[in-house]
Amino acid sequence: MRLGPILAVAFTATALAACGQSGSGSSDEAASSGPAPAAAPEMSEAEKQALLASLPAPYNTADLANGEAKFALCRSCHTITPGGANMTGPNLHGVFGRKAAQVDKFRYSEALKTSGIVWDASHLDQWLAKPMTYLPGTKMSFAGVKDEKDRIDLIAFLMVETGHKPE
């Protein structure tokens, strides 16, 4: 199916609005990071399930399919592949254990740069629940993921897909 020009513009505006972006450049913006490098070999379903089982509770029993579905809310602004491009939001590969505002060539809000946050499941859960309340001054105007189970599933999906290595 092919979208007409008006529908394509409406779809793009809706996708940007989901991240609070109007296209005006007033929020955190990514610098062009060029073409993405070749993707790493995808993990098999068995490897994903083994990694999931090794995560701490409650993430070890999460529903990865639901987490992937919830990531659709994030996908218009974030990539998760190794070396993936920054978009409206930064690439999230390697996010766990990383200090906030550390992705090269991404312009972060002053609030995030000075937050001192080191991303772990607890911080990410609070962030995803309501980013602007969790960190006043952030430019990420995403409304949040209200349902706790959906956040657990989304965080587990991110752990599995972004190179998280459980301790």
The DSSP result for 61-130, as a single string, is: G--HHHHHHHHHHHHTT---STTPPP-SS---TT-TTPBSS-STTB---HHHHTS--B--HHHHHHHHH-
> Which of 48-52, 74-78, 139-143 shows the lowest mean pLDDT across its residues?
139-143
- Residue 103 predicted with pLDDT over 80: yes
CA angle 157, 43, 41 (to 5 degrees): 120
- pTM for this predicted structure: 0.76
Average pLDDT over residues 88-97: 96
10 pLDDT higher than 90? no
Residue 47 confidence (pLDDT) above 60: yes
pLDDT grade, residue 30 (50/70/90)?
A: very low
pLDDT of residue 3 exceeding 60: no
Give pLDDT tens digits for 110-147: 999 999 999 999 999 999 999 999 999 999 989 999 99
Predicted pLDDT of residue 43: 86
The full set of domains in the chain, from first to last, is 64-167 (1.10.760.10)
Q: Has residue 12 got a pLDDT over 70?
A: no
